[in-house]
Structures are given as structure tokens and as C-alpha cells.
């Protein structure tokens, strides 16, 4: 039975800390991580949490405490990971179109680096030769993921070095001694089909003979979790069995035992997160019942940005009769959270909880409309910890400099 927070707990937290509030459940994160490590028992596998999903330092510290490593998307995330106590060898920086200076900083910090352009790889090779092993992010030309916005490995994607240009990487190795330790792909998010990972492995395995110093195949993240009730996520046991089969076969064929790395983001934190809002206004328009909440696309942008489904429950009247609502926000912009959604009858003041709010929820929040960002609460051992206070009006002005009139 997956660990979850009860309606009573969520109501208590909303009463105690106010709304809107993001709530995270530490034990659920632990459980998701354990599901991965259990499935891959006996394999040389390492999981790097893709921290861009949720970077509150308390979450990073929890991730570290359970033995998971961390993958970063910016040099600032690398700095945060260091502050959270990760050792350099537990930190991976998978970059995309970044300034070379960030790669220099990452090297000084001693973290693993995946480089995603020939331009930066060349600069790196010329400066460091064989002295610092690196990974290359390749674009395998595989269409994958829940929708085009979150598909990152297809043949028009900005990510990675196109696999058809791999000879240019080999030329760099030959001319500079560059030590390619890792081949990396990350083809998208919400990949349900295990065959997509199998296809990625197939593309990378063909390249193994080109890189004698290769030690790691990094298959990225993108495991799907259920969003709609009854929906299935990626079958992790099936994935583990497939990966094991492929890597065993490679070893048999070539005598090379490669490590496997993964970078799960959503899988670890999506279901551990809840977003609790309060209904401010009910409005009837023809046959549409609007339920306006004290939040908007500034706090949870996924429905408007990706068309994502977030399951919603009225935890203040859970057993009320079912009616159909459009749940909308308070931003001066169309910000529908849900349309034609059956929900228990809503009264003004009721708490609505949004599920799967742990990944890319708070992390993509902004102060648009000069609204405050929500507070964040971590539930650990059934205790509630405020891990980010709500903004104040001073916060909105904090980085602004006033010009004398």
C-alpha cells in the first residue's frame, strides 16, 4: 500500500499553515526510491534524483539521507546540492546549451558532467584532454514521452549531440585524448512504454565499441506515474528485467560490464506532493459551475502549460453529492485547472486538494500578478514542518532597487 496523507492531515495542515500550500510526504519519496532499488537489486545501478522537479533544500537533504544521488539542470542546482550535503561524486550535472563557464565551475567542484553540444565538448577536450572523465548527452532520435513539450530525444529536439554526429565525438577523443566515461540519453517525461528504454539501449550499445574508456550508460529519467485514477505508470519490474537482460547480453558479447544510471524526477516526488487550495468564489454561468480557488497558473502551471490532468478532491465535503465543475484560478489570464470535472458539492471556503503536485508544481511557480508563492510543508514521521514560509509584500520588493524621484 503506497504511503499517503489522509484528508484529515491535509485539512489540519491547511488550517495550521493557511492555503494555498504545497505538502510533501517524506515517507512516500522513500518508498518510491525503494521501489527502484528493489527492482534493480544485484545490478550496478545508480539513481540520480532530477532535482529540477522539486528543489527545496529539505527535499534534497531527504533524498540524500535515503542514499539517492542527485542530477542537476543548472549550476545553481549543483550549488544547492552541495549545500544539501551531497558529495561531488553523488552529483551529476546534465547541461543543456549552457555557457562553458558553468562547466568549468562544475569541474572545479568535482561533480560528474554530461555535456550536450559539440561546441562545449570541444572546449572541454582542448582544455582538459584525458584528465577529467565526462559524459556526452546524445540525441537518439526517438520520439517519446507524454506530449511534444516533454519529448526531448526526437530528431528535431534541441537536446544532445545528434547521434549521427557521433564520429565528431570520436575525432575529439582521438585528437585530444578526451575520456568519455558516460553515454547519456534522456528522451522525455512520462514514458510509459518500456520498449522506449529498450530502443535507447539499442542505440547506445551500437556505440559502445567506439569508446574504450566507457564505464556508464545513463538512460535519463522520464518514468511515468499515474495521474488519472486507475491509470498505470511505467512497469518498473519489467524495465529492470529488460535492462538486466540487455546489459547481461552485452557483457557476454563484449566482456564489458557497464554501470547503469537513471535520473528519475517525477517518479520520486510527484505522488508525494499535494497542493491544497481554498474555494473563494462560486459562480454559475449558464450550465457552467465555476469554482474559483485562491491560486492560479502562477502556482501550478502544468494544466495550462502541458494540458496536464491533476486529480482534484473536495476534502471539506468528500461525501457530498457529485456535481460538475470548472475549477479555475484567480489570475487575470485564463487559468483553468479542470473543466467539466465531477466533484463533491463545493461550498465557498472548502479545501480542494490537487494530487501529483510534488513534481514541477512549486518549482515552476512564479509571482505573476504579484501574488505570493505558496508555503511548503514537509510531513515526516507524521510531523508537520514548514519548509518555506509564504511570501510577504517585502519579498516582492526585495530585489528591486528604487530610483530616486
Ligand X SMILES: *Cc1c(COP(=O)(O)O)cnc(C)c1O
- Residues labelled as active-site residues: 332
Q: Give residues in contact with ligand X (CB under 6 A).
A: 50, 52-53, 71, 73, 94, 186, 189, 220-223, 263-267, 359
| Between 189 and 294, CB nearer to ligand X | 189
> Smallest distance, Å, CB 381 to ligand X?
26
CA distance 12 to 28: 19
- Looking at the Cβ atoms of 79 and 385, the one nearer to ligand X is 79
Q: Which is nearer to ligand X, 157 or 295 (CB)?
A: 157
Is 260 within 8 Å of 243 (Cβ atoms)?
A: yes
Distance from C-alpha of 321 to C-alpha of 315, rounded to nearest angstrom: 13
3-state secondary structure of 3: coil
Residue 388 C-beta: closest distance to ligand X, Å: 21
CB of 161 to ligand X, least distance (A): 14
Closer CB to ligand X, residue 139 or residue 371?
A: 139
For ligand X, the closer of residues 135 and 296 by Cβ is 135
Neighbours of 362 (CB within 10 A): 26
Asked if 62 and 26 count as a contact pair (C-beta separation under 8 A), the reply is yes
Q: How far is the CB of 255 from ligand X (least distance, A)?
A: 29
Closest-CA residue to 266 (of 306, 215, 315):
306
| Shortest distance, position 54 Cβ to ligand X, whole Å | 10
Q: How far apart are CA 172 and CA 120, in angstroms?
A: 12
- The answer to whether 335 and 252 have CB atoms below 8 angstroms apart is no
CA–CA gap between residue 317 and residue 265 (Å, rounded)? 33
| Minimum separation from the CB atom of position 344 to ligand X (A) | 31
122/266 with CB nearer ligand X: 266
CA atoms of 337 and 284, how far apart (whole Å): 17
168 vs 190: CA distance, rounded Å: 31
Report phi then psi at 45, rounded to 5: -120, 140
Nearer to ligand X, 222 or 374 (CB): 222
For cell 522539486, name the residue: 54
Closest to ligand X by CB, 22 vs 351, is: 22
**In the complex, minimum distance from the CB of residue 98 to ligand X, in angstroms, rounded to a whole number:** 12
To ligand X, the closest distance from the beta carbon of 57 in angstroms equals 19
How is residue 336 written as a grid cell? Answer: 483553468
Whole-angstrom distance, CA of residue 169 vs CA of residue 207: 11
Name the nearest CA neighbour of 184 among 155, 152, 145.
152
Q: What angle do CA 106, 181, 73 make, to 5 degrees?
A: 35
Report residue 216: phi and psi, to 5°. Answer: -130, 135
Q: In the Cβ-directed half-sphere of 283, how many Cα atoms lie within 13 Å?
A: 11
- Name the residue whose CB lies closest to ligand X: 265
Taking a C-beta distance cutoff of 8 angstroms, is the pair 363, 52 a contact? Answer: yes
**Alpha-helical regions (H) of 41-92:** 57-65, 75-83
* Residue 4: closest CA among 272, 404, 301: 272
Amino acid at each position: 500500500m503506497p504511503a499517503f496523507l489522509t484528508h484529515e492531515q491535509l485539512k489540519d495542515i491547511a488550517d495550521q499553515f493557511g492555503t494555498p500550500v504545497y505538502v510533501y510526504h517524506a515517507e512516500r519519496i522513500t518508498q518510491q526510491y525503494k521501489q527502484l532499488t528493489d527492482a534493480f537489486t544485484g545490478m550496478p545501478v545508480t539513481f540520480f534524483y532530477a532535482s529540477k522537479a522539486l528543489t527545496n533544500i529539505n527535499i534534497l537533504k531527504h533524498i540524500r539521507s535515503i542514499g539517492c544521488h542527485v542530477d542537476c539542470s543548472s549550476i545553481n542546482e549543483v550549488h544547492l546540492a552541495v549545500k544539501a550535503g551531497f558529495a561531488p561524486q553523488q552529483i551529476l550535472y546534465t547541461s543543456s546549451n549552457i555557457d562553458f563557464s558553468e562547466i568549468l565551475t562544475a569541474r572545479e567542484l568535482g561533480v560528474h558532467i554530461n555535456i550536450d553540444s559539440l561546441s562545449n565538448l570541444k572546449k572541454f577536450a582542448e582544455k582538459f584532454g584525458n584528465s577529467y572523465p565526462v559524459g556526452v548527452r546524445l540525441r537518439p532520435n526517438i520520439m517519446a514521452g507524454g506530449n511534444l513539450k516533454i519529448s526531448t530525444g526526437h530528431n528535431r529536439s534541441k537536446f544532445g549531440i545528434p547521434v549521427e554526429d557521433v564520429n565528431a565525438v570520436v575525432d575529439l577523443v582521438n585528437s585530444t585524448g578526451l575520456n568519455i566515461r558516460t553515454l547519456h540519453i534522456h528522451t522525455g517525461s512520462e514514458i510509459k512504454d518500456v520498449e522506449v528504454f529498450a530502443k535507447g539501449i539499442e542505440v547506445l550499445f551500437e556505440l559502445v565499441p567506439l569508446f574504450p574508456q566507457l564505464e556508464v550508460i545513463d538512460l535519463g529519467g522520464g518514468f511515468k506515474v499515474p495521474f488519472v485514477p486507475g491509470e498505470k505508470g511505467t512497469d518498473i519490474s519489467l524495465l529492470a528485467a529488460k535492462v538486466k537482460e540487455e546489459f547481461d547480453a552485452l557483457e557476454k558479447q563484449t566482456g564489458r560490464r557497464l554501470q547503469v544510471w537513471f535520473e528519475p524526477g517525477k517518479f520520486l516526488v510527484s505522488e508525494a506532493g499535494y497542493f491544497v487550495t481554498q474555494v473563494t468564489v462560486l459562480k454559475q454561468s449558464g450550465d457552467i459551475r465555476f469554482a474559483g480557488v485562491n491560486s492560479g497558473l502562477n502556482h501550478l502551471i502544468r494544466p495550462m502549460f502541458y494540458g496536464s490532468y491533476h486529480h482534484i478532491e473536495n476534502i471539506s465535503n468528500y461525501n457530498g453529492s457529485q456535481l460538475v465543475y470548472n475549477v479555475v484560478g484567480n489570475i487575470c489570464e485564463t487559468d483553468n485547472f479542470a473543466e467539466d470535472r465531477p466533484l463533491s458539492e463545493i461550498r465557498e471556503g472548502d479545501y480542494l486538494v490537487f494530487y501529483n503536485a510534488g513534481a514541477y508544481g512549486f518549482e515552476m511557480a512564479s509571482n505573476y500578478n504579484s501574488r505570493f508563492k505558496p508555503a511548503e510543508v514537509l510531513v515526516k514521521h507524521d510531523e508537520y514542518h514548514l519548509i518555506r514560509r509564504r511570501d510577504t509584500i517585502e519579498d516582492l520588493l526585495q530585489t528591486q532597487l528604487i530610483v530616486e524621484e
